Amino acid sequence: MKSSRAAWALVTAAVLMTTAACGGSDEGGSSDASGATGGGDGGLTTLTMAETPGSPFAFVSYGVQRGHFEDEGIDLQARVNPGGGTSTVPALVQGDMDVLGLDLVSTLTSIGADLPIRMVAAGSATSEEADGDFAAVLVRADSPIQGPEDFDGIRMGVNALRNVNDLAIGSILEQQGLAPDAISPVELPFPDILAAIDRGDVDAGIVIEPFATIGQNQGLRVVARPWHAIEPGMQIGTMVMTEQTVARVGDDVVAAFSRAVQATADDIREDPDAFRAALPELTELDPALAEQINLIQWRGQNDRESIELTGELMTRYGLLDAEIDYDEVILDD
């Protein structure tokens, strides 16, 4: 796997040219194209956010439902992010949203390409136990693949390229002593990965909840737990703003957003059953399925060790040219 820096150089240039052409001010308090305002309903600051479908989106929606963001003076307008990985980063930099839920690999890739991204709160993390991992590599029930040792020469469905899937694949290749091209990733949306496995279009696929449990209920079989295999309890996702948004809304709003994320994480950890009960309403998930899925672990605050491990592995696997200045880009650790 080659570094994505060269590919991102063109994207970076285009994004920065567009941002410059759009103008704008670093002053906080007034409404702009992204929807951030200094005085929403009842004096709330409105922030717009895009988050990964499934459990990550359910997390922020639950925080809104429970009033944690409102308690911090924030009117959070969250929507599902139809893309994945780095595909939405240009829209974030151009001001189409204020906050983006993003995996750590895509975040560090973007920062390594000199995009002005700052981590303001933690996203998803995996379980300390393999069976509790919210991600899974699935295969057909009749597949000869029994585990990562059988991944040589396979096609792997992934929801996005150049994101945390690359870290999982790189780790598998290293642990199994396989050639760099032993696994061929095929980019597909999560629901389509399940169908592609069933048809035989791909040999295996990396999916997160609820798609992991849906696939198992359809007869697919788990052969690996990719995030847990890298590091038990590892942080996988983060929530990011651009440095321009941080400057515009101000440090107090950024801190308030982080506290709301932390309160939501604490709420779910203290009462996971209440979160499960809310999932059908938040994500139109079948109540029976909501009881089955592995819940993502949420910390609220970014885990410096996980982020540094991600950067170290990315550098080793050729996904990042050099590690970044973590002190500059992590705002809440």
Same domain, 145 and 65: no
Mean pLDDT of 131-147: 97
Same domain, 79 and 138: no
Predicted confidence at residue 42, as pLDDT, reads 63
Same domain, 93 and 109: yes
Q: Please state, for a pLDDT cut of 70, what percent of the chain lies above it.
A: 87
**Within a domain: residue 311?**
no
Mean pLDDT of 243-266: 97
Kindly tell me if the per-residue pLDDT of 31 is higher than 80.
Answer: no
Where residue 288 falls among pLDDT bands split at 50, 70, 90? very high
- Residue 47 belongs to what domain range? 26-126+235-303
Nearest residue to 34 via CA among 96, 100, 116: 96
Q: Is the dihedral of CA 247, 252, 253, 258 positive or negative?
A: positive
Q: Please state, for a pLDDT cut of 90, what percent of the chain lies above it.
A: 76
Scan for tokens 């060790």, then name that residue: 305
Question: For 76-105, what is each residue's pLDDT tens digit?
Answer: 999 998 777 788 899 999 999 999 999 999
Question: For 142-161, what is each residue's pLDDT tens digit?
Answer: 999 999 999 999 999 998 88
> Average pLDDT, whole number, for the chain?
88
Question: For 210-241, what is each residue's pLDDT tens digit?
Answer: 899 999 999 999 999 999 999 999 999 999 99
Tell me if 192 sits within 8 A of 159, measured CB to CB.
no
Mean pLDDT of 37-47: 74
Same domain, 36 and 115: yes
What CATH code is carried by the domain that includes residue 211?
A: 3.40.190.10
Same domain, 42 and 91: yes
Which one has a higher pLDDT value, 8 or 196?
Answer: 196
Query: Could you check whether the bond before residue 210 is cis, i.e. omega within 30 degrees of 0?
Result: yes
Instruction: Give DSSP secondary structure letters for 118-177.
Output: EEEEE-EE--SSGGG-SEEEEE-TT-S--SGGG-TTEEEEES-SSSHHHHHHHHHHHHHT
**Within a domain: residue 109?**
yes
- Tell me the pTM: 0.83
Same domain, 77 and 220: no
Q: Specify the number of domains making up the chain.
A: 2
Same domain, 144 and 218: yes
Mean pLDDT of 26-45: 52
Which one has a higher pLDDT value, 179 or 20?
Answer: 179
Same domain, 46 and 108: yes
Mean pLDDT of 268-281: 96
Kindly tell me if the per-residue pLDDT of 5 is higher than 50.
Answer: no
Give the three-class secondary structure for 250: coil
Poorest-pLDDT segment among 72-76, 81-85, 118-122: 81-85
Predicted confidence at residue 68, as pLDDT, reads 98
